[in-house]
Structure formats: structure tokens, C-alpha cells
């Protein structure tokens, strides 16, 4: 599939997906959500993709939905939103469940569903001038794109409600202090830092990384004993794979493992 709203390229095991509507502040259109869903399937199905970077082109990461493309509020808009979020949510789910770790490289402003996309990655790196805001209640809408799932898990219920109800704008440093992102870097270093991190992860044991991701996500819905049983099953499965054989052999040989 050739994308019109996204950039897509792969190199050295890393897929880079670029939100590419700079003329519209990288806002989400129906087409972009469809293309995002396709891209999520594409990276999940490509065995050569071992890490993914999601970034924005130009001055913004993503400023949420492009309201100019919406029908007027009412039944038509409700139908439109149901279709659009179906594509977007399918993409978020696929990116979250895939083995390859996903890094969000947040530049400039992220708002609304754009903030959701900034937060759902396994790791998040932000430029020092980036800004984060929910922005939904300002236009009489409610959050989408997974923020009601990921945000309270990252910052707690009180702070999540504060961000949602007041539309408070957080700086990159505040987002770091709150635990929303992993690191803040100079704006000019954002892409190189994100890709260096992706390259490090791409050299790792992708299947085991994917299994670990799923353990952490499912832990919110499990009791202690049932979660430990899932841990037992996951590590037993991992021990059967070539990744474990290589990792353990490299440990005893005092060398770096070659998982690729």
C-alpha cells in the first residue's frame, strides 16, 4: 500500500512511520487512520521489522483529529467518528500487541488523539519544546485513541482527570516528571536519539520482548497467582526459542548475543 498521509521506511530492522500532514498540523483524517491501521499490520507481519519509531513531520507530532473533515455534530458525526476510531483503535491495538517494541518520538505539540499516540508507545522520547494536552473537553468531546487506558496507568487517576477536565498543557519536562515519557532531549537530537534507541532494541530478542510486553499489559487484570502462572508459561516458552539458546550461550562465552 502506498500511503498519502504517512511516511514509511525500513532500515536495519527499524521501521520508521512518520505522521505526514504538516499542512494540517499533522492532524488525523479518516484516510490517515486507515493508513495507520494498515501500517500496524504491515510492521506486525514483517519478520524483518524488530523495532518501530513513530514520529511527526514538521513542527508538530500530531494535533488530534482534523475537525475540518468532520460532518456537523449530530447523527452523521457520530457515525463518522465510529468508523474513524475503529481504524485508529485497531492500529493502536496492533502496535501494542506486536512483538517489535514501538518508540514514539514526540516533537512539538501533541493534542487530543495525538497525545494518545504519543503515550501508547512502549517507550517515549520527547524534544524539549514538545507540549502535551488532552483538549477534548474544550470542544465538548471525550477522549479516544487509548488515552483513558494508558494515561491513568502512567500518571494515576487524579492527574489523568486533571489533564482531561482542565486541558492543562504540560511541558516536556513536566511530562517526564509525571512519568508520561522516558526522556527529554534537545529538539535537534530527537530523531537521532529515538533511532539509536530503536537500533538498540532491534538488536534484542524480539519474540521475548513481545512476550514481556504482553505480560505487563495483562497484569492489570490478573491476581498475583494467576499472573505468576502466566510468567511461568512465558519464560518456559522463551526457554524453548533460539533466542534463549543464543543469549545463554553468549552469557557463558562472555560476548554480546547475536539475536538477529
Q: Phi and psi (nearest 5°) for 7?
A: -95, 145
Q: Which of 20, 99, 122, 144 is catalytic?
A: 144
Catalytic-residue membership of 89: yes
CA distances from 111 to 26, 27, 134, 136, 160 (A): 10, 9, 5, 9, 14
Taking the CB of residue 78, how many other CB atoms lie within 10 A of it?
Answer: 10
Alpha helices in 17-171 (DSSP H): 30-45, 75-97, 113-119, 147-155, 157-166
Q: How far is CA 105 from the centre of its chain?
A: 9
**C-alpha cell, 92:** 493502536
**C-alpha cell, 26:** 499533522
Catalytic-residue membership of 195: no
Q: Which of 44, 89, 187, 217 is catalytic?
A: 89
**C-alpha cell, 158:** 487524579
Query: Sign of torsion, CA 219 134 32 117?
Result: negative
Among residues 138, 87, 136, the alpha carbon closest in space to that of 115 is found at: 136
Q: Are 58 and 4 in contact (CB under 8 A)?
A: no
Distance in angstroms (rounded) separating the CA atoms of residues 238 and 242: 8
**C-alpha cell, 30:** 479518516
- The catalytic site residues sit at 89, 144
Amino acid at each position: 500500500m502506498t500511503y498519502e498521509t504517512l511516511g514509511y521506511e525500513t532500515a536495519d530492522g527499524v521501521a520508521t512511520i512518520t505522521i505526514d500532514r504538516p499542512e494540517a498540523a499533522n492532524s488525523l483524517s479518516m484516510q490517515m487512520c486507515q493508513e495507520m491501521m494498515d501500517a500496524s499490520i504491515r510492521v506486525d507481519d514483517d519478520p524483518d521489522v524488530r523495532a518501530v519509531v513513530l514520529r511527526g513531520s514538521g513542527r508538530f507530532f500530531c494535533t488530534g483529529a482534523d475537525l475540518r473533515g468532520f460532518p456537523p455534530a449530530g447523527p452523521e458525526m457520530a457515525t463518522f467518528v465510529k468508523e474513524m476510531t475503529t481504524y485508529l483503535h485497531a492500529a493502536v491495538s496492533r502496535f501494542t500487541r506486536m512483538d517489535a517494541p514501538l518508540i514514539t518520538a514526540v516533537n512539538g505539540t501533541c493534542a487530543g488523539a495525538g497525545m494518545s499516540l504519543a503515550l501508547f508507545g512502549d517507550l517515549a522520547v520527547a524534544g524539549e519544546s514538545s507540549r502535551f494536552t488532552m483538549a477534548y473537553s474544550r470542544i465538548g468531546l471525550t477522549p479516544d485513541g487509548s488515552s483513558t487506558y494508558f494515561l491513568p496507568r502512567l500518571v494515576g487517576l487524579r492527574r489523568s482527570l486533571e489533564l482531561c477536565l482542565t486541558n492543562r498543557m504540560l511541558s516536556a519536562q513536566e511530562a517526564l516528571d509525571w512519568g508520561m515519557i522516558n526522556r527529554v532531549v534537545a529538539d535537534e537530537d530527537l530523531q537521532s536519539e529515538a533511532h539509536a534507541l530503536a537500533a538498540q532494541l532491534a538488536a534484542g530478542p524480539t519474540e521475548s520482548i513481545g512476550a514481556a510486553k504482553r505480560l505487563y499489559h495483562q497484569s492489570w487484570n490478573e491476581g498475583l497467582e494467576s499472573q505468576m502462572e502466566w510468567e511461568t508459561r512465558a519464560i518456559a516458552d522463551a526457554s524453548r526459542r533460539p533466542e534463549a539458546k543464543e543469549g545463554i550461550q553468549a552469557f557463558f562465552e562472555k560476548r554480546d548475543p547475536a539475536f538477529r
